[in-house]
Chains A and B, each alone.
Chain A
Amino acid sequence: MALRENGVKDLLGLEYLSVAQIETVLDVARPMKNLFTRSIKKVPALRGKTVALVFFEPSTRTRGSFELAAKRLSADTLNFTASTSSVTKGESLIDTAKTYEAMKVDFMVVRHAASGASGIIASAVKARVINAGDGSHEHPTQGLLDIFTIREKKKKIEGLKVVILGDILHSRVARSNLWALTKLGAKVTVCGPATLIPAGLTDIFGSQVSVSTDLDEALGDADVVNVLRLQRERQQGAYFPTVREYTELFGLNTERLQKAKPDCLVLHPGPMNRGVEISSEVADGPQSQILEQVTNGIAVRMAVLYLFAGPEGLPVNRPEAQKAAKAVQTSLKAIT
């Protein structure tokens, strides 16, 4: 883990990045996005590097997005899916990571159902580790692409009112969004059934964050609403009576959206449950950014791979970021 100048080696979560680092990623993602309009959408920046996509949990879009991002930077990619792998034969997390390390990969993009799994791998290998979602902890590149999409349309983040709607409790997307949005100065309202909102959010994120269980009230004056998927596969208790009731109270439809500002953006990380958390009219409507998010996701992941590939990892521009990076490394040492 020896890095020059205390750069950040791994992207484990947006909690650990400074405002300057987040803005650096967003700034580099812009020229990356411009590449998509060329007939040759590929640059040689990461030629000779290898990116292993280590997915212990099913995912098609995030993996596809990372794979395309790596390929557009001329890196080689290697796919690992838990169901077809040695994990089913009993291999441990660290042994799997060490095996990839022995193959001399430069990056491991890791998705795992357990919070903290990416961090455990990061502390065990020299390769750069990019967290592609670990349990309900963080999904930093999703957070970055959401912010990129908002900033591109609204030209700023500071002062915006952003509603995060749905299952906050199980959502790593919500957590990454909360970290980044509060750091960049947005006001965030999280809204959902009381059973799906974790306690103590304002203790962690401060007074910029408020909690509401009334969607109509939460949407008032909103500049952005980020609709989360109802993750029924993670919900192991009875958090709400029926899906139908959930839709009745917390589904975003055209009528509800009118409570927000007329130019309010609608985001959804996908895959959508149409007719459950979002109506088709809204998903396909003029305010929807859902497909734009998919395009932006590739650009943001290209920026992340590019910026972390340097000898010092993601450059640290500010002392507080160096401190944060050190804190992460110390806490990771404590885990292993």
Chain B
Amino acid sequence: MANKRILSEEDIRAAVTAMAKAILAGLPAPRGDWAVVGIHRRGVPLAQRLARALEELGAPPLPVGSLDITFYRDDMAETALHPVVHETELPFDIAGKTLLLVDDVLFTGRTIRSALDELMDFGRPDRIALAVLIDRGHRELPIQADFAGRLVATRRDERVDVHLSELDGEDAVWLSAKTA
């Protein structure tokens, strides 16, 4: 199995900063109505980092929430269960907010579909924008990122693993051939 490191710690930091700049330029004010929501698991630390980067670039401190989409998945009947369920915590009212939805990798788009469904059950935000660290292509649904840290060309059967120091002890993105 050939493992290739495609992003380093420095690359990830630069990508988050670049996304923060693009968000400040691209999302409508007032920024006081913005909130950041990370998708479990690696979207959560990324959401916190993005909120910090936005604040360093002049945005007000933004509330950060987390979303566990397990109960909204569409593959329950086909695949084994996901007995590890995390908790959704949205400690703010999302109605009327501009939500920045954050995940580590955008692949088929199905996770984002589930996340959008779940968010709608919490209220009616004014707008949801999607920010991902890596867009690796191979969409199965008409969903695109508004802000992507890196576009990475991959084969469908390859794996992209984002490692973040908060969960994995290192900051790196790895590309590997799928284990047979």
Contact = CB atoms under 8 A, between A and B. Distances in A.
Interface of A: 4-5, 24, 27-28, 30-31, 34, 38-40, 42-46, 73, 306-307, 309-312, 315
A311 B79 CA distance: 7
Interface in B64-112: 68, 70-73, 76-81, 83-88
| B contact patch SS | loop
B83 A315 contact: yes
B121 A28 contact: no
Q: Name the prevailing secondary structure of the A interface residues.
A: loop
A43 B121 contact: yes
Contacts of A309: 76, 81
B76 A307 contact: no
Contact of B80 (A34, A38, A45, A315): A315
A325 to B, nearest CB: 16
B122 A28 contact: no
Nearest to B78: A311
Interface residues of B, number: 22
Contacts of B121: 38, 40, 42-43
A311 B68 contact: no
B116 to A, nearest CB: 12
Contacts of A28: 83, 85
B170 interface: no
Given A31-B87, A42-B121, A43-B121, A312 B71 contact: no
18 contacts: A4-B80, A27-B83, A27-B84, A28-B83, A28-B85, A31-B70, A31-B85, A39-B122, A40-B121, A40-B122, A43-B121, A45-B72, A45-B76, A307-B83, A311-B77, A311-B79, A312-B80, A315-B83
